[in-house]
């Protein structure tokens, strides 16, 4: 495997499998020049799959890491809420089908999840390294046992 890297940004320009000669590396260099890079800004080399994976990781910027983490947290928040209150249950609550005690409990739980999502976003905004981004994780609220049991008893009536 061989790769070309844009030196200033450490972004991978191109990866090709195979090859073992300088001519193969020269092809990568020429491809990069044809794409608008200067020869001085291009590094070409042979690498293993592990080295390629490390180069991909190194090329991720802090803003990209933050954006990726935010997307994952948003998806996890939605999944955590829907695990306790699926969309069809939420719709029924909005139509007034369930008693207020169930609706109020659901609203409090959903609000707590959103507050946690926002807390993580605030921490990510302060991150200055990828290592910091990687260790910032949500601590999702859990329904109390009594609340969960009461919710299931009430929902079972419907």
Q: What is the pLDDT of residue 148?
A: 60
Going along the chain from its start, the domains and CATH numbers come out as 2-59 (no CATH), 62-156 (1.20.81)
Q: What is the mean pLDDT of each run of 10 residues along the chain (158 residues)?
A: 92 92 95 95 95 88 93 96 90 90 89 96 95 94 65 63
| Cα–Cα distance list, 54 to 11, 28, 46, 77 (Å) | 12, 19, 13, 29
Neighbours of 30 (CB within 10 A): 14
């Amino acid at each position: 495997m061989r790769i070309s890297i844009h030196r200033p940004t450490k972004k991978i320009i191109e990866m090709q499998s195979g090859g073992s000669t300088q001519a193969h590396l020269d092809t990568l260099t020429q491809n990069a020049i044809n794409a608008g890079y200067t020869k001085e800004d291009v590094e070409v080399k042979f690498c293993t799959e592990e080295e390629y994976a490390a180069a991909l990781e190194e090329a991720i910027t802090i803003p990209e890491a933050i954006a990726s983490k935010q997307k994952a947290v948003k998806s996890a928040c939605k999944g955590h809420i829907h695990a306790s209150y699926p969309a069809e249950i939420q719709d029924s609550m909005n139509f007034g089908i369930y008693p207020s005690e169930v609706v109020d409990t659901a609203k409090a739980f959903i609000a707590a999840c959103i507050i946690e999502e926002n807390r993580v976003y605030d921490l990510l905004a302060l991150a200055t390294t990828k290592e910091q981004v990687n260790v910032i994780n949500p601590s999702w609220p859990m329904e109390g046992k009594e609340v969960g049991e009461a919710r299931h008893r009430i929902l079972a009536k419907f």
